[in-house]
A and B are shown apart, each in its own frame.
Chain A
Amino acid sequence: MCREHPLKILKYSAKNIWLLIFPLLRGIYTYHFDKNWFYSWVQGAWFDIAVLGAIIIFGFTRWAFSRIDFTEDELVHRDGVFVRVNTYIPFRNISSVTVERPIYMAPLGAMRFRCDTRAGIFKTVDLKLLVSNKTRRKIMEHMIDVDEKKKIEGIPQPKALSILLFSVFFSSGFSGTVYLATFFFKGGDIAYDIISRSLNIITLETAKITEKLVLKIPTAAIFIGVFFIASWFLSFLVNVFRYGKFNIECDKNCMKVGYGIIDRKEYRIKNSHINYTDLRQNLIMKLMGAVAVDISCAGYGSSKKQASCAASCQA
């Protein structure tokens, strides 16, 4: 029997529990730091502390009741305190398994585990867990893996240059703009302030250059140009970090794909569950001897944060 990573307590507690930090900080800030400050602060904020405590206790209880079990044939996930939800997933039906290690979870040793079958209509994940490395190892022992003895040798692995070229060709100002927009929406006013300040500096600097070079380039044109170059560069960086350290292993039954420099992702895909593969090559890729392989398999790319395809390029 295993449990999910204790970090899951926070998720179970509440999605936006972090918002409570601000009133807490404000409360601390407004109180004067005399020798009885803690006592007087608790006197005023005891109700808030009680609510916060209740939220965390609720999260802890849910975490304590959430369990991962293994039988000979199944992965069993038990969830719920009063209403018990038990999910039984036979190993033979699992199409793909994903392990994602986001950089911000690395110090806590937590990682995301996802497994998918061919069931369902929408692109949803069948089982999503937050686990420790130890639990991941235990789960992965039961999952399909590439047999080292029967491994297909000679599968071309992309080199660093290939990844760079791939990132160059597949980066676009448009996707960079999307990243920027996401940053704006998620970061709100802080992001807006930082970016607008940077853009102001760029505009002032470029105005000086145009004055010196006696060029009559409109500020708006410079602004658009800088914006698109910055967007493209951002998209390029995202692609490099996403597809860096790409490696692929394969045998008759299983395909193992791993990529990502900062946020490392690893997939194990059951070959017999792959619906189709799609080889894509545009003119530049043809000249460079590169090809992108799209794999369609249940669970592979079902999360919105995952890439919908694995691209292997060969310079």
Chain B
Amino acid sequence: MKQFYPDRHCLTTLRLLITAIVVIILFAVRYFIPVDKIVMLCIIVVIAIACFEMFVHLPMFFNSISYSATSTEVTKSSGVFIKVHQSVRYSSIQYTTVISSPFSQYTGFNFIIFFVYGGQLRLLFLKQADAQEIIKLSGGVSVKGDKYVP
């Protein structure tokens, strides 16, 4: 059995994305709302939510995620407040979707979705090498050396 953990680069990327979104929201608030008190309130609320997400929830969420793969099945454990353990046999996989962003080796945006009878298992924020290994173990994708398989 092999354990896999999410790519920590992804946490940094998400923090940068959240910061960019917050800046855009704050500019929009300043531009469209003429009342200073409401603007101040919006700024405080948005920054508080962003800080909570970036420095409390996301790190806890990333710490909670782990994947374990054997030769027959893959198990995902996740959840900050409610723990979820999902397990899927490779033999029940019907088809596979692989999602990757540009420079995914640096951003950590590699996702694998296994579609199985009655549902799906999403493996999120994987390292490129880990994603490759899980795909190889699952046998869900037969394409050898496909440049699009991370």
B131 → chain A, closest Cβ, in Å? 12
Which of B99, B109, B116, B146 lies in contact with A119, CB distance below 8 A? B116
User: Within the complex, which residue of A71, A85, A87, A118 is in contact with B142, where a contact is CB–CB below 8 Å?
Assistant: A71
Determine the residue in chain B with the shortest Cβ distance to A82: B102
A-chain residues with CB within 8 Å of residue B115 when the two chains form the complex: 117, 119-120, 126
B contact residues around A87 at 8 Å (CB):
95-97
Determine the chain B residues whose CB is within 8 A of the CB of A84 once the complex forms.
99-101, 148
Q: Of residues 77 to 99 in A, which have CB atoms within 8 Å of B's CB atoms?
A: 78, 80, 82-90, 93
Q: Is A48 an interface residue (CB 8 A)?
A: no
B94 interface hit (Cβ, 8 Å):
yes
Q: How far is the CA of A86 from the CA of B143 in the complex (A)?
A: 11
B120 touches A120 (CB 8 A): yes
Contact A93 B95 (CB under 8 A): yes
Q: B43: which A residues are within 8 A, CB to CB?
A: none
- Among B99, B119, B140, the most chain A Cβ lie within 10 Å of the Cβ of B99
- Chain B residues, Cβ within 8 Å of A93: 94-95
Interface contact A117-B94, CB-CB below 8 Å = yes
- Is A34's CB within 8 Å of the partner chain B? no
User: How many residues on A have C-beta within 8 angstroms of the other chain's C-beta atoms?
Assistant: 23
Q: Interface of A with B (CB < 8 Å)? A: 71-74, 76, 78, 80, 82-90, 93, 117-121, 126
Q: Which among B96, B118, B120 is the interface contact of A88 at CB below 8 angstroms?
A: B96
Given contacts A119-B95, A119-B117, A120-B115, contact A88 B100 (CB under 8 A): no
| Residues B82-123 near A (CB distance < 8 A) | 94-102, 109, 115-120
Q: How far is the CB of B120 from chain A (nearest CB, A)?
A: 7
Could you say which of A78, A85, A88 contacts B95, with CB atoms under 8 Å apart? A88
- Residues of B whose CB lies within 8 Å of any CB of A are 94-102, 109, 115-120, 140-143, 146, 148-149
Cβ distance A127 to chain B, nearest Cβ, rounded Å: 8
Question: In the complex, which residue of chain B has the Cβ closest to the Cβ of A81?
Answer: B102
Contact A86 B142 (CB under 8 A): no
Beta-carbon contact of B119 and A120 below 8 Å: yes
A-B pairs with lowest CB-CB distance, top 8: A119-B94, A119-B115, A117-B94, A89-B95, A88-B141, A73-B142, A93-B94, A87-B97
In the complex with contacts A74-B142, A76-B143, A119-B117, A82-B95 CB distance below 8 A: no
A47 to chain B, nearest CB (A): 20
- Which residue of the partner chain, among B94, B140, B142, B148, contacts A78 with CB atoms under 8 Å? B148
21 chain-A/chain-B pairs, Cβ below 8 angstroms: A71-B142, A73-B142, A74-B143, A83-B109, A84-B101, A86-B97, A86-B99, A86-B100, A86-B146, A86-B149, A87-B96, A87-B97, A88-B141, A88-B142, A93-B95, A117-B115, A118-B94, A119-B120, A120-B118, A120-B119, A121-B119
